[in-house]
Amino acid sequence: MASTDTSTGPVKESGDSQDLAGLEAGLDALESHAGPTRTPVRQVLVQKVVPPVTAVLLVLLVWQALVSFDIVDDPSKLPPPSAVWDEVHEAWLQGNLLDYIWTSVSRGLLGFLFALVIGTPLGLIVARVRFVRAAIGPILSGLQSLPSVAWVPPAVIWLGLDNSMMYAVILLGAVPSIANGLVSGVDQVPPLFLR
């Protein structure tokens, strides 16, 4: 059997006592190792928590400065964070905040369920029918790479500001991803399982 040793030194006998002593010392070192150490909380905070919090605070500070120094023409288009916070606080005091949050969450969940209902059969058809894959596979890939927010302006123009616009944006953003994910999954199934 060919050796994997790449050293150029003399070949040692397998019964060499020096070699056994080195092996024993290495095994002792492995046994005495104290296992994984825990990262101190301060280090985790400094490395993982502080940078994103600092970035968010910086964005809020710049946002507030843009409005405070009248760089923004119309504060109704970009209200300062302080005004947004006041509105959130007021909605909380009136008991409406959870209703507002639930409205957004329910729209997202319902839109995603619609996307599953449409994207799953579409993905299966694209994965199994060659002509359909050749016809709309590239379109699905292109739509998947397009950010969902890019659909907002056309959806507002075509559908107005109502629930249908929001569902259209969710569907156009989620259906291609679901269909392409399913196509990739079906492509990974071994051919023997498909018979």
Token code pair at residue 3: 């050796």
Residues 75 and 155 in one domain: no
**In this predicted structure, what is the pLDDT of residue 5?**
47
- What CATH number corresponds to the domain at position 104? 1.10.3720.10
DSSP E strands, the chain: none
Residues 134 and 46 in one domain: no
Q: What is the tens place of the pLDDT at every residue in 13-66?
A: 555 666 777 777 666 666 665 556 777 888 888 888 899 999 999 999 998 998
**In this predicted structure, what is the pLDDT of residue 103?**
93
Residues 160 and 83 in one domain: no
Q: What is the 3-state secondary structure (H, E, C) of 151-191?
A: HHHHHHHHHCCCHHHHHHHHHHHHHHHHHHHHHHHHHCCCH
Residues 102 and 194 in one domain: yes
Q: Which residues contact 168 (CB under 8 A, 6 or more apart)?
A: 151, 155, 159
Residues 189 and 118 in one domain: yes
User: What is the C-alpha separation between 52 and 63, in angstroms, rounded?
Assistant: 16
Q: What is the tens place of the pLDDT at every residue in 117-166?
A: 999 999 999 999 999 999 999 999 999 999 989 999 999 999 988 889 99
Residue 14: alpha-carbon gap to chain centroid: 53
Residues 111 and 85 in one domain: no
Q: Is 190 exposed, middle or buried (0-12, 13-18, 19+ CB in 10 A)?
A: exposed
Token code pair at residue 20: 């056994």
* Pairs from 161-170 (Cβ < 8 Å, separation ≥ 24): 163/107, 166/107, 166/111, 167/107, 167/110, 167/111, 167/114, 170/107, 170/108, 170/111, 170/112, 170/114, 170/115
Q: Is residue 26 part of a domain?
A: no
Q: Is residue 28 part of a domain?
A: no
Tell me the residue type at 7.
S
**In this predicted structure, what is the pLDDT of residue 31?**
64
Q: What is the tens place of the pLDDT at every residue in 79-116?
A: 889 999 999 999 999 999 999 999 999 999 999 999 99
Tell me the residue type at 28.
D
Residues 175 and 142 in one domain: yes
Residues 44 and 85 in one domain: yes
Please state the domain count of the chain. Answer: 2
pTM of full prediction above 0.85: no
Residues 178 and 100 in one domain: yes
Mean pLDDT, residues 73-80: 80
Residues 60 and 139 in one domain: no
Checking if the pLDDT of 4 tops 60, the result is no
Residue 176 pLDDT grade (very low, low, confident, very high; cuts 50, 70, 90): very high
Domain that holds residue 88: 40-94
Residues 163 and 186 in one domain: yes
The answer to whether the CB of 79 falls within 8 A of the CB of 60 is no
